[in-house]
Amino acid sequence: MPILKIARMGHPMLTRTAQPVPNPEGPRVKQLVRNMVETMKDADGAGLAAPQVHVSRRVVIFQAPPERSLPGLGEEEAFDHSAPLTVLINPEIDYLTEEMEEGWEGCLSVPGLTGLVPRCAHIRYRGYDTEGTPIEREARGFHARVVQHECDHLDGILYPQRMTDLSKLMFTSESRHWAEALAQDLPLEEEL
């Protein structure tokens, strides 16, 4: 299966609202999903939305394996293993609380960066799989975060647009220094 090219921040495809999928069971949808899964695995991602691979349709895939977390950023950033590899076609989200949680996010379309993003702490999502079977689940923690992140792509939103403090947007390679400074309660800048 081909590895698809991932659109990066700045590409107009990532700013559009994706169109609904008329037939979740169609062979072209199944082929798209197979290619997206291979592309996500190849890129070592936790999720992928169809617009990221230049297809303006409402399709997302995601997973939350426990071995994925940013080093040094704490237990609260560990991936929630309760989200198996999931295909969600024409997804909808209900926000079940007003409580927001901040967490570190990265994105295959914003390579090399990570940022602290507030997200709803408890959601319910629904959609369909490639057999047309309805899916409905509640999610918290990273599971809720990855669903919201991927569904944002369907509405032309990248995670930096959700950030409330751009001083917490950094290169992933520098996140270790940030975490070490916080853990040791060191100043984030050198005093003169």
Sign of CA dihedral 132, 6, 84, 78: negative
Please give the Cα distance from 50 to 48 (Å, whole number). 7
Please give the Cα distance from 167 to 130 (Å, whole number). 40
- DSSP, collapsed to helix, strand or coil, labels residue 30 as helix
- Active site residue: 77, 98, 102, 150, which one? 150
Q: Quick check: is 189 catalytic?
A: no
**Residue that the structure tokens 């950030």 belong to:** 163
Which stretches of 43-118 are DSSP H helices? none
Please give the Cα distance from 112 to 182 (Å, whole number). 21
What is the amino acid identity at position 81? Answer: H
Q: Which residues pair with 5 in a beta bridge?
A: none
Kindly list the catalytic residues: 150
